[in-house]
Amino acid sequence: MALPAGMGGLALNSVALCHQLTTLERSKLEQCLGEVPEAHIKQVEAGVLLALGIEF
């Protein structure tokens, strides 16, 4: 899922790799850099569900 520079505070064009999931503790996150619009969050969620083989 492509995320263009400027969206959510991104400095460069980026890609959400929905098939490469990992977990981490919230305490490891130092600061919020910005917010991704809801429409893009929904697309990332759909990509994650697809990668996990979960029907939506």
pLDDT in tens, 1-50: 899 999 988 999 999 999 999 999 999 999 988 899 999 999 999 999 99
pLDDT for residue 33: 83
pLDDT for residue 48: 96
Domain ranges of the chain: 2-52
The model's pTM: 0.77
By the 8 A CB rule, do 56 and 46 touch?
A: yes
By the 8 A CB rule, do 44 and 52 touch?
A: no
pLDDT for residue 39: 93
pLDDT for residue 43: 94
**Which residues 6+ apart lie within 8 Å of 31 measured at CB?**
none
Q: Which structure tokens are listed for 56?
A: 């939506």
Which of the 8 DSSP states describes residue 39? H
Residue 56 has pLDDT above 80, yes or no: no
The SS3 assignment for 19 reads coil
Q: How far apart are CA 53 and CA 29, in angstroms?
A: 28
